Homo-oligomer: A and B are copies of this chain.
Amino acid sequence: MPADPRFFLRAGPFSLAAVVEAAGGTVRGAPADPARLFVGVAPLQSAGPDEVSFLDNRRYAEALRATRAGAVILHPDMADRVPAGTIAIAAAAPYLGYARVAAMFHPEPPPRPGIHPTAVVAADAEIGEGCEIGPYAVVGAGARIGPGSVIGPHAVVGPGVVLGAGCRIHAHASISHCLAGDRVVLHPGARVGNEGFGFATTAAGEHVTMPQLGRVILGEGVEIGANSTVDRGSGHDTVLGPGTRLDNLVQIGHNVRTGRGCVIVAQAGVSGSTTLGDFVVVAAQAGLVGHLSIGSRARVGAQAGVINDVPPGADVLGSPAWPVREFWRAVARLRRLAGGGDGKAAAGTGGGEEAG
């Protein structure tokens, strides 16, 4: 069953050879015609003979057995489990391969160059070649938007903001006080450059705003989820390193800095002046206090409350956060103390998996 054509453009069809190349894999088992055509991608459970699917997780091995997909991208170890009639495309990284094949069949619609008559674009704003500026978008004085970018309906690009090439600022997002690289994406309702939560309090209890005089620097390829909020710096800048991705409803406080490729999952929050290295993962609903240093490749678990620095590569969980192993040991002890069994089977039957 193909992706709903009301919502998704489709390119192709593409040959098996093209699919195999995009997937970075090789065909296993019976020889197959490299010119065989495929029209799209679909999950195992709904794919048809002219569609490509993938298997990335043994949990779905049953779905593999029952699939009608014409081809499945999967790990070499699983290649012999495809049903008769399904071509096995073995790839070391099936999920990545499928991402590339799916993007081949469903490329992001290119910008439709032009400025909607209702867009309000300041006279001295510079709009790069091939940009699409949508209905009711507002582009402020002195802003610069790189070529091939898309500014969606009602998006607001503030005065002086600089965006690189190929950026996508979706409907209702707003961005101010910001310098962004190429291919930066703000999903609907994202808010970048807001005044951070800084104020001094008089003896009488009156809060006096501390002017927030920094900016937000977004590296190339940074993506910010729907309704997430990234505050500008107070004097220094707030910096998200290249390739860093924020999910929805994430809060980034003033002066936070991340390295490259960090991943911050839904509803997590990073308090002001905390620094993340490269490839740090902060799971859903976690919170980090301010002025911490989180080392590269550290992983902060779901709902964790981090109050200390975390060394590179460490895994922490709990509130306050501990090394993961100790966290589970504490849960097990507490469980026994309360007269129950093992902490991990704490609720109900069967298994789920850790947040991911």
Contacts and interface: CB of A to CB of B under 8 A. Distances in A.
Interface string A301-322: 0110111111100101011111
Nearest to A160: B6
A307 B355 contact: yes
| A176, A223, A326, A343, most chain B CB atoms within 10 A | A326
Contact of A99 (B96, B191, B208, B311): B208
Contacts of A31: none
A84 B285 CA distance: 47
Q: How many copies does the complex hold?
A: 3
A32 interface: no
Given A191-B189, A245-B207, A197 B346 contact: no
Nearest to A178: B7
Contacts of A260: 205
A337 B329 CA distance: 9
Contacts of A214: 3
Interface in A38-52: 41-43, 45-46
A353 B291 contact: yes
Interface in A270-305: 271, 274, 278-279, 284-285, 287, 289-293, 295, 302-303, 305
A173 to B, nearest CB: 9
A200 B95 contact: yes
Nearest to A288: B352
A227 B188 contact: no
A34 to B, nearest CB: 24
A316 B100 contact: no
A188 to B, nearest CB: 5
Given A215-B7, A308-B347, A320 B314 contact: no
B102 A120 contact: no
Chain B CB within 10 A, most for which of A142, A235, A339: A235
A75 interface: no
Nearest to A323: B347
A354 interface: yes
Contact of A291 (B135, B136, B311, B352): B352
A333 B334 CA distance: 8
B318 A329 contact: no
Given A309-B348, A346-B321, A7 B211 contact: no
Interface string A79-97: 0000000000000010110
B211 A106 contact: yes
A334 B322 CA distance: 12
A164 interface: no
Contacts of A4: 160, 177, 215
- The list of the 10 closest CB pairs from A to B, nearest first, reads A6-B160, A96-B200, A330-B338, A3-B213, A43-B235, A229-B248, A292-B352, A289-B355, A197-B247, A194-B226
